[in-house]
Amino acid sequence: MKNFEGFGLSPALAKSLVHMKYEAPTPIQAQAIPLALDGHDIMGTAQTGTGKTAAFAIPLIEKLLTNPKGSALVLTPTRELGKQIMEIMHQLLGPKSNIKTAFIIGGEPMGKQLKQLRARPRLIIGTPGRINDHLERGTMMLNDTGFLVLDETDRMLDMGFTVQLEKIFKYMPEKRQTLMFSATLPKNILKLSEKYLSNPKRVSVGEVNIVAQNIKQEVIRIEQDKKYKELMLQLHDRSGSVIVFVKTKYGADKMAKNLRRDGFTSDALHGDLRQSKRDRVMQSFRKQNFRVLIATDIAARGLDVPHIEHVVNYDLPQVAEDFIHRMGRTARAGAQGSAISFVSNQDGRKWSAIERLLNPNAANDKGADRSKSSQKPKRKRPNNKKRYYRGKKKAA
């Protein structure tokens, strides 16, 4: 499919796509949208940053616009991802749409959500925990919800939402259309799809457990106590926005504070922040008011910020699959990006798990990549591009 006109969408949705400057469908959209419009269940996988959100959002909105009855539910693992999806849905619906929506996530006042639910929304986007809260209270009904989307399903299962998801399925009609999307495909997702999807069409674009080819990767073998000094050197030698992944919430706050002290504009994003604070941090980062975002794995999935040029794995992820999702925060929509991974002596098992995920045959290639990984990165002279420094640079 060369353009979106070939899908035969309703005039209102076609107009929204033109306004959003959607021209040619990505491979995942070209495969998934026609199947979804025909009513098929879908099990979809594609590398992060390939347009999965629009692959389910476009057919969902088309169903709502062309059918006066029925509602749709989209489940996401995090509030940030849910908010991004809702923004895209509102753009697709257009400013004059009379279809009401509800955003049901943890960390926000119940009163606000109850008001949205009393308005009888036809589109609900939320996280499994808070959706279940409303179902158990009787403040939400899903008996007419014939369209269900599970986005970043592997992450929801990693976060322990399996029981929550199964509870939600019980409140929904058995006859429904279910779209399940994920960037990786572990065995527990296959089991879930077999249980809750009806003859799903398999849609897969590219290899699943692989980092996008337009990301230049570097691995730095380093002692734990030398990481911060190396990070500052890397930040000095590079231009553009950076996301640095760390292990703990406390570590994120501490590093953001230290970087500000050392002359870099920086802020932290993690699960202990109130939703209003998280929104302010992300809004500021999107506007490029600061250069370095320090984040826990809450930002590893779904975070779509096109200007992120570099990903730094200061701490390796606890779950190997999250390495791929972290990488996907850069090189969005075909752009170029870079990624650096700090690997200390304590990271042996984690790094081995990541290597096995990326290359299952790596275990048989003894030391195949060892020499490359141990090389020190070449130092580049800082150029004159905008650096977002605040104050004078301090000595490392």
pLDDT tens digit string along 117-176?
A: 999 999 999 999 999 999 999 999 999 999 999 998 888 887 789 999 999 999 999 999
Q: In the chain, where are the structural domains located?
A: 4-205, 215-373
Q: What are phi and psi of 123, to 5 degrees?
A: -130, 120
Q: What is the mean pLDDT of the chain?
A: 86
Percent of the chain with pLDDT over 90: 59
| Arithmetic mean of pLDDT, 3-7 | 89
Tokens of 264: 């870099």
Q: Tell me if domain 4-205 and domain 215-373 are identical in fold.
A: yes
Does the pLDDT value for residue 260 go beyond 50?
yes
Does the pLDDT value for residue 6 go beyond 70?
yes
Q: What CA–CA distance (Å, rounded) separates 388 from 204? A: 39
Q: What CA–CA distance (Å, rounded) separates 233 from 236? A: 5
- Residue 214 is predicted with a pLDDT of 80
In the block, residue with structure tokens 């005039």:
11
Question: pLDDT tier at 207 (50, 70, 90 boundaries)?
Answer: low
Region 215-373: CATH code = 3.40.50.300
Region 4-205: CATH code = 3.40.50.300
| Arithmetic mean of pLDDT, 285-294 | 95
- Residue 381 is predicted with a pLDDT of 40
Q: What CA–CA distance (Å, rounded) separates 155 from 86? A: 19
